[in-house]
Structure 1
Amino acid sequence: MRERRPHPARFLLPCLLAFWPAWAQETVAAPEPPVVSASSRTFDPHHTRFGFELRTRWGQRVAGVFPQYEGEVSTLADGRHRVRIVLRTDGVVVAGSDRYTALARGPNFFDAQRYPYIEFVSEPHPDTLVRTGGRMRGRLSMHGVTRMETFTLSRPECDEPGRDCDVIASGSISRDDYGLDGWQFALADRVRFMLRVRLVETAP
């Protein structure tokens, strides 16, 4: 009668258990510490403008503004910057049209009663970005949906953008991505957001 040999797994499992603590410490990354803000600046209401633009199916331009907003540009402890913008949808105004203003605030578009805010929080980026222009990624939350989006900062017209001249940026998003599916028969899918901002130091 043949002698039955122990299955290799009987020896493999104790070996894995013996080396498990060292293996786990090498492969499981520790959570990153929170990014601490060293200082911040808010938006200068005399120069700051937040707006949006979309087209009708017939090529007409519909432009609106967000007169009510808040947010800041934070300087982080590592020297990078982070932008936070909050826009109130119940204050949105479509230029020259009370009807379009009501539609923009209504349930078939921004639905301000259910979703009163649009928020954008950028990823930390070098402080040189506002002086060179370029792409700024961040988390956009709107209409109950949060997605990563990219906005483009224009090259500034002065050496100290945000203080001596406006910081200008724009970005285009899909209405379908955020469930803004009202008036599809009349409005194109893309919505372009624009901003022109200057900054003031936050009082300590």
Structure 2
Amino acid sequence: MTIEIPGYRPGTYTIDPAHSEVGFSVRHMMISKVKGAFHVIEGTIVAPENPLEASVTAKADVASINTKDEGRDQHLRSADFFDAEQFPTIEFVSTGVREEDGEFLVDGDLTIHGVTQPVTFNLELGGFGTDPWGNFKAGATGTAKVDRESFGLTWNAALETGGVLVGKDVTITLDLQASLQA
């Protein structure tokens, strides 16, 4: 099955780190959410004639984590969580693209903390266009929910009022912009 997407151009796209990030949110103290982001350090999207045959590879820098609290960021970089020294990147490699009920889904393998798990991102195409310098761009946002403990991120603290400090479910949001290679 081949689908048509207005403005779509086949080719190989390079993810632009200056216009892309890996964001996340996780329940904190069972009452609110903490949000943060990692900087994308590299990525490629191969877009053949049939968009459903596209593939994506991407890496984010664990040490770049930013939750707007340097003390928390240092703790997240430590062996209690991401262990940035031993596992410096988060990586995603797609295994397939599909369309269901008018939505695009990107299946793939997500590696965090040295553990690889299958994950499916719901993809929202932002669109396509040419920048003022003649470079053709594509933009998209992908979201997925993962269980952080399945990646070995199990640190937590019990609260006096019941519950725990950090929730298990993490929502990942990929905001990506990529340039078509000449």
TM over 0.5: yes
| Aligned residue among 26, 34, 51 for 1:62 | 34
Q: What does residue range 7-22 of structure 1 map to in structure 2 within 5 Å?
A: none
For structure 1, the 5+ residue unaligned runs are: 1-37
Corresponding residue for 1:201? 180
Q: Deviations over 1:135-194 (max 9, x none)?
A: 21101111121111111112x454x38966731111011012111001253100011110
SS of the equivalent of 1:114 reads coil
Q: Residues 20 and 176 of structure 2 are in contact (CA less than 8 Å); yes or no, is this contact kept in structure 1?
A: yes
| Aligned residue among 124, 144, 153 for 1:171 | 144
- One-letter amino acid matched to 2:59: V
Corresponding residue for 1:11? none
Q: Residues 26 and 166 of structure 2 are in contact (CA less than 8 Å); yes or no, is this contact kept in structure 1?
A: yes
- One-letter amino acid matched to 1:152: N
Corresponding residue for 1:124? 96
Partner Cα distance (2:32, 2:84) in 1: 24
Q: Residues 123 and 143 of structure 2 are in contact (CA less than 8 Å); yes or no, is this contact kept in structure 1?
A: yes
Partner Cα distance (1:40, 1:164) in 2: 11
TM-score normalised to structure 1 length:
0.68
Corresponding residue for 2:162? none
Matched, 1:187 2:166: yes
Q: Which has the higher contact order (CA 8 A, sep 6+)?
A: 2
| Structure with the bigger percentage of strand | 2
Corresponding residue for 1:43? 15
- One-letter amino acid matched to 1:105: R
TM-score normalised to structure 2 length:
0.76
Q: Which has the larger radius of gyration?
A: 1
RMSD, aligned CA: 2.6
SS of the equivalent of 1:90 reads strand
Corresponding residue for 1:153? 123
Would you identify which runs of 4 or more consecutive aligned residues in structure 1 move more than 6 Å? Answer: none
For structure 2, the 5+ residue unaligned runs are: 1-9, 131-135, 159-164
CA distance 1:164–1:116, shift in 2 (3 Å): closer
Report the count of equivalent residues.
159
- One-letter amino acid matched to 1:89: V
